[in-house]
Amino acid sequence: MRPGRLRAFASRLRELFLGRQINQDLQEELREHLALAEAEHRRRGLSPDAARRAAQRDLGGLEQTAESVRDRRGFRVFEYISRDARYAARLLRKAPGFTVAATATIALGIGANVAVFTLADAALFRPWPYPEPDRLVALWETYEGKATRSVLAAANFIDYERENQAFDTVAVYQRNEGSLSGSGSPERIAFEFVSVGYFPALKTLPVLGRPFGSQDYVDGHAPVAIISDAYWQSRLGGAANVLDQSIVLDERARRVIGVMPRGFRAVSDVGREGPAAVWLPSAFRPDELTNRNDHEWTAIGRVRAGVSLDQAQLDLARISAAIARNAPEPAQARAHVAPLADEQVESLRPLLLLLLGAAGAVMLIACVNVAGLIIVRALARRREVAVRLALGATRGRLAVELLVQSAVLVGLGTTVGLAAGWVLTRWLASIAPVAVTSVQPVGLDIRAMAVAGGLAIATALLFGLLPLRQFSGVKPVFALGGLARGTLGPGSMRGRQALLVLQLALGVVLAVGAGLMIRSAMAISAVPLGFNPDNVVAASVALGGRARYPTLQSRIEFFETLRDRIASLPGVRAVAYGNQLPLRGSWTSGFIIEPVGGEARVQASAGFQSVSAEYFDVFGIPLAHGRLIEPGDRTGQSGVALVNGAFGRALLAGTNPIGRVIRRGPVMPPIRIVGVVGDVRRGGRLADIVPQVYLPATQPELYSLQLTQFAVSTHGDAPALTPAIRAAVWAIDPDLPITNVRTIDETLALQLGERRFQTWLFSLFGAIALVLTTVGIYGVVSYAVGQRTPEIGLRLALGAGRGRVLALMLRQSMILAALGSAIGLAAAYGLSRYMTALVWQVSPTDPVSYLQAAAVMIMATLAASLFAARRATRVEPSEVLR
Amino acid sequence: MAPDKTDVAQGTLALMILTTLDTLGPLHGYGIARRIEQVSGDVLQMNQGTLYPALVKLEQEGWIKAKWGASEQNRRAKFYALTPRGRKQLQAETARWSRVSAIVGRFLKPSAS
């Protein structure tokens, strides 16, 4: 824009806002003009009356002049727009059916997109919640000959920290759980051990107090802790003197030296349910400083400004090479870096991107429907448009009016859509797997609003300009009667059919996705667990490390007492305890199978579990052969074990395990196998069955597994018993924290959360697509029937049967359905590789899902067309041909 | 329209306003209108109302600026004055106008060339 134009624009803008003042000034100026002219006319000898009339005549009318000046000033277009908006609102009120249908459809599209975007934004797009997040990297090692990533050994970390030139800071952390005791009931919390560079690397320091300094890492220094804002507020009541207080974590008092800012998230919080509440200085054990094979520490780094990732990687490779030279090891470590944000959410990317795609498809389908409605309405207005053109309206004015009408409609839809999106977001956040929602808080924010706004503008333009095309052929002369009735020309009819095919194809793609998800979910739920998860509630207690339970025997005594106490509660069927329970961890160990006959000793590995006698009753695991663990299997008696069916199949070549003897090591006590129980999927429905050994908890000398968990089988409402169970624990030991109190059913559901989430969403989008597409087809077919009523009447009059007429009307929509399905199936096939990560035991090109999707779409088309075409069969030839 | 009266063409009105303000200095709308009619020897019969949109346009372009002052009858009136940019524009327009009228003049009197 040249400067003069710009100045005029600015001046107009100012006038727009000074409107009232400028109008008054103008009136005054013009009145003065008339007064001067009148005075002059009187000087020339006219009478006062004649002078006034002459002055008026010379000026050409006060109001006309004022109007033409106003046209020059400001932007008249704003006045037009507000007038058009009122007119548009009136039009919408006059057609409530159209308004509701279009608003709901737009709202559905916008709502779905806003909700999915909000979720994806929190996990994928939004910048990481630390300053300058793009310089934050995750750091790990790989070892020669192994593909798996390895976290760092402390010794290697120290070298990277000291020798690097490419980083501002390199730091490590390790997440742990601990018991906080002291005031109130004991609590299990998550905390992080962090190296001194952790907070500087995140560029986030405590708001109160100080970060860790090197003195905090010196052995023998007073133990210190930094706490989260949430912990400070909830547990310490936000006390101002918090820095003088101590917290007791795992029975050790630690002075609070800092409080992190509100909303600060620990790096390890991603994918975890609860945020870390406490940070402790990482204390490396002396042996860790020399042993480079002890990989325990997860590393992050902040790359120096201006240093690329490749340079940082090279810098670390140089250090890895030096480590290998100085401390030769069997395997050579190689360090890797990648942006921390990408690294932490990599596994979520395919799911969230596919969901965004699905939401986009829903939006497109919705737009096609609304566009169809708008085109039909535009046709009905062609005569009105012709009249207005004849009366001198410009096409530019008409375009503004149509855009305003579309904007009002879309604005309405978007408002409703945002409300729907808000509700949907809350629902999604509640069912979304913790991996998605733990990255950053999920909430409808300005970014989601911007997405809604962008979609709204695009759709408003689309819907505004579409009818303009319908009017392009309208000439003012039509107003004189040239246009008998509004009909779709062959061109726009084809356009509508193309849109319908697109809609059908998108619908088929979504239906294929939903089908794959549902079939995966069905395959998963059909997998037998091997145990009964119903009405069982489980919990963990951590006796280890507590001074009250110094010996294995004291821990067994605790659990025996606990078992008896809980078993006496009303509603309890049986109680069992063990080191681990199904879905709650596993423990694998090597052992020796004693040979029978002349063969050699066999080294093998299996899952080991230490359980009480009631375990198999509580979980409904059947006995196949031999006997179960009995109360008499105690220390002092000969060592016994049970195995599962897989044990015999995998390790004993299918021979009977009963009577065989195993040992944990050459000098360990012999363990005789006395029974075989049913196979169990310990890790849940997605896990494999592995050989398993069950040892009696009361024979800890066989293998001292830490007893930590117990399970309660009930006669009904298991969750209702939790308070009584907690009370039973605290009656024995008031300082003992109870964690992970959950029914086994809940744990199963949690485990499948991600899959259930994706199944739900794809099914939801598939269903929306189906409904919208059906409505769209209905609209197109009923319009076509309306258009062809005279033709149908003629055919009937000439003797065509009503069945033939119906077939005629159906033929076209079935052709479109076939075409749309074919395109949709091809598209779904093309997209199938992105689905691989999301399906289970079902191929992403599973023919059943594909055929189902196409069949459902074609059936829906048939049903909608039949419903719409019924009218054709009721045409009375005598009526329409008159 | 009477044959001896000429309508004011678009664009030339702007030039006339600028010239008027250049010769007479700050003037109110009525003064400008009268002056243009007088200079044209009352041949130019203008609808004085058309003057005002033209004044707004010149003001928006920044060639003239308006200020409230007192009229001959001692009432509040809006006075328009040429700005430095307006003066420059006037020179450019004048030069262009003379060039065009010289060319047109040559076409109208071909014998003289």
Q: Which of residues 844-863 of A touch B (CB under 8 A)?
A: none
Find, in chain A, the residue whose alpha carbon is nearest to that of B52.
A69
Percent of the residues in chain A that have a pLDDT greater than 70, as a whole number: 93
Is A36–B30 a contact, with Cβ atoms under 8 angstroms apart? yes
Is B49–A59 a contact, with Cβ atoms under 8 angstroms apart? yes
Is A7–B62 a contact, with Cβ atoms under 8 angstroms apart? yes
The whole-angstrom separation of Cα A835 and Cα A358 is 12
Integer angstrom CA distances of residue B86 from A46, A472, B81, B91: 38, 44, 9, 9
Q: Nearest CA to CA, how far is B73 from chain A (Å)? A: 8
Is A37–B48 a contact, with Cβ atoms under 8 angstroms apart? yes
Residue A459, token pair as written in the block: 């759709």
Q: Which of residues 348-367 of A touch B (CB under 8 A)?
A: none
pLDDT digits (tens, 9 = 90+) for A565-621: 999 999 999 999 998 898 887 777 888 898 887 777 778 888 899 999 999 999 999
The whole-angstrom separation of Cα A422 and Cα A500 is 30
Taking 50 as the threshold, does the pLDDT of residue B1 lie above it?
Answer: no
Buried-state track A486-518, b at ≥16 Cβ within 10 A, e below 16: bebeeebbebbbebbbbbbbbbbbbbbbbbbbb
Mean pLDDT for all residues in chain A = 86
Residue A878 binned pLDDT confidence (cut-offs 50, 70, 90):
confident
Is A30–B77 a contact, with Cβ atoms under 8 angstroms apart? no
Q: Is the pTM of this model over 0.90?
A: no
Is B49–A68 a contact, with Cβ atoms under 8 angstroms apart? yes
In 3D, which of A183, A174, A176, A186 has the Cα closest to residue A548?
A186
Q: DSSP label at A481?
A: T
Q: CB distance from A8 to chain B under 8 Å?
A: yes
Is B34–A29 a contact, with Cβ atoms under 8 angstroms apart? no
Confidence (pLDDT) at A292: 79
Q: Are the CB atoms for A727 and A576 separated by under 8 Å?
A: no
pLDDT digits (tens, 9 = 90+) for B32-62: 988 888 887 776 667 777 888 888 888 888 8
pLDDT digits (tens, 9 = 90+) for A125-180: 888 889 998 899 999 988 776 667 888 888 889 999 999 999 999 999 998 888 88
pLDDT digits (tens, 9 = 90+) for A783-795: 888 888 888 888 8
The whole-angstrom separation of Cα A316 and Cα A310 is 10
Instruction: Average the pLDDT over A790-804 and give the result.
Output: 85
In 3D, which of A487, A489, A480, A415 has the Cα closest to residue A452?
A415
The whole-angstrom separation of Cα B100 and Cα B84 is 24
Question: For the CA atoms of chain A, what is the radius of gyration?
Answer: 38
Is A11–B60 a contact, with Cβ atoms under 8 angstroms apart? yes
In 3D, which of A655, A669, A602, A586 has the Cα closest to residue A625?
A655
Chain B residues in contact with A4 by the CB 8 A cut-off are: 61-62
Which segments of A250-387 are extended strands (E)?
252-259, 278-281, 295-303, 333-339
Establish, for the pair of chains A and B, how many residue pairs have beta carbons separated by less than 8 Å: 74
State phi, psi for A578 to the nearest 5 degrees.
Answer: -175, 180
pLDDT digits (tens, 9 = 90+) for B92-109: 888 888 888 888 888 887
Query: Which residues is A589 bridged to in the sheet?
Result: A606
Is A33–B29 a contact, with Cβ atoms under 8 angstroms apart? yes
Q: Which of residues 34-53 of A touch B (CB under 8 A)?
A: 35-37, 39-40
Chain A residues in contact with B28 by the CB 8 A cut-off are: 29, 32-33, 36
pLDDT digits (tens, 9 = 90+) for A272-326: 878 899 999 988 877 778 777 777 899 999 999 999 999 999 999 899 888 888 7
The answer for residues whose C-beta is within 8 angstroms of residue A196's C-beta and 6 or more apart is: A171, A212, A213, A214, A216, A217, A281
Q: Nearest CA to CA, how far is B101 from chain A (Å)? A: 27
Is A64–B59 a contact, with Cβ atoms under 8 angstroms apart? no
Q: Nearest CA to CA, how far is B28 from chain A (Å)? A: 8
Q: Nearest CA to CA, how far is B20 from chain A (Å)? A: 17
If one counts every other C-beta atom within 10 angstroms of the C-beta of residue A157, the result is: 25
Chain B positions with Cβ closer than 8 Å to A: 28-31, 33-34, 47-50, 52-53, 56-57, 59-62, 71-73, 75-78
Is A32–B60 a contact, with Cβ atoms under 8 angstroms apart? no
Q: Nearest CA to CA, how far is B8 from chain A (Å)? A: 14
pLDDT digits (tens, 9 = 90+) for A338-354: 898 887 788 788 889 99
Q: CB distance from A823 to chain B under 8 Å?
A: no
Which of B34, B56, B62 is nearest residue A73 as measured by Cβ atoms? Answer: B56
